[in-house]
């Protein structure tokens, strides 16, 4: 009888941590192929503070130290009330045509994420053109269990994917139009 009670207690103990599991880190990758070589696409996005020139949702972007690591990019969105947030440059690789940045804190009503990091890169696609790859990793907008629908994993992923698609599609448009 004691063996059964011990086994039951161990099973109950093992189930409790599993049911208390919090959010899972989400990872997404979006790409766009562009019929222009890397050396014609990279200049469009290479400057950390140039996102307002190529992303249709960004009204302005100013970086404190340009392309230097730890530069803080202040973004103001094209939306009622001019919502804004900051991003910090973690790594800049001009030769590798990429940079990595993070969002230290953002109002989940603006972007429903926590602990967000992202890398954007321009890669040679081997066909005379390039591929722009935008990768992100983050937690949903609500860090506790049972998030409200607008802050759950699915909606957080959808929001980031929408941001990436809008930017990537516009980079393609700019690069291929030559403007």
Q: Is 122 exposed, middle or buried (0-12, 13-18, 19+ CB in 10 A)?
A: buried
Q: What is the pLDDT of residue 15?
A: 45
CA distance 172 to 77: 21
Q: In the chain, which ranges are continuous DSSP H helix?
A: 2-19, 38-45, 51-54, 153-177
Q: How confident is the model at residue 22 (pLDDT cuts 50, 70, 90)?
A: confident
* Structure-token match 């030769």, residue found: 95
CA distance 171 to 42: 10
- Does residue 164 contact residue 172 with C-beta atoms inside 8 Å? no
Residue 158: pLDDT over 80: yes
DSSP-based three-state secondary structure for 65 = coil
CA distance 151 to 23: 11
Structure tokens, 107 = 């109002």
Residue 18: pLDDT over 50: no
Q: How confident is the model at residue 179 (pLDDT cuts 50, 70, 90)?
A: low
Q: How confident is the model at residue 178 (pLDDT cuts 50, 70, 90)?
A: confident
pLDDT in tens, 47-82: 999 999 999 999 999 999 999 999 999 999 999 999
Domain 23-177 carries which CATH code?
3.30.530.20
- Does residue 136 contact residue 28 with C-beta atoms inside 8 Å? yes
Residue 154: pLDDT over 90: yes
Listed residue (98, 96, 75) closest to 85, CA to CA: 75
pTM for this entry = 0.86
């Amino acid at each position: 009888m004691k063996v059964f009670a011990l086994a039951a207690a161990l099973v109950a103990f093992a189930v409790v941590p599993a049911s208390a599991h919090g959010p899972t880190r989400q990872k997404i990758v979006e790409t766009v192929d562009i019929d222009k070589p890397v050396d014609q696409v990279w200049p469009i996005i290479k400057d950390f503070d140039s996102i307002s020139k190529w992303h249709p949702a960004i009204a302005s972007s100013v970086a404190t130290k340009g392309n230097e690591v730890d530069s803080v990019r202040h973004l103001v969105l094209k939306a009622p009330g001019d919502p804004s947030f900051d991003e910090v440059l973690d790594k800049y690789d001009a030769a590798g045509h990429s940079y990595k940045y993070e969002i230290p804190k953002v109002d989940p009503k603006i972007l429903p994420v926590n602990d967000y990091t992202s890398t954007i890169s321009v890669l040679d696609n081997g066909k005379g053109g390039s591929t722009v790859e935008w990768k992100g990793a983050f937690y949903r907008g609500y860090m506790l269990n049972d998030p409200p629908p607008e802050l759950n994993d699915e909606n957080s992923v959808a929001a980031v994917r929408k941001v990436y698609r809008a930017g990537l599609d516009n980079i393609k448009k700019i690069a291929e139009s030559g403007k």
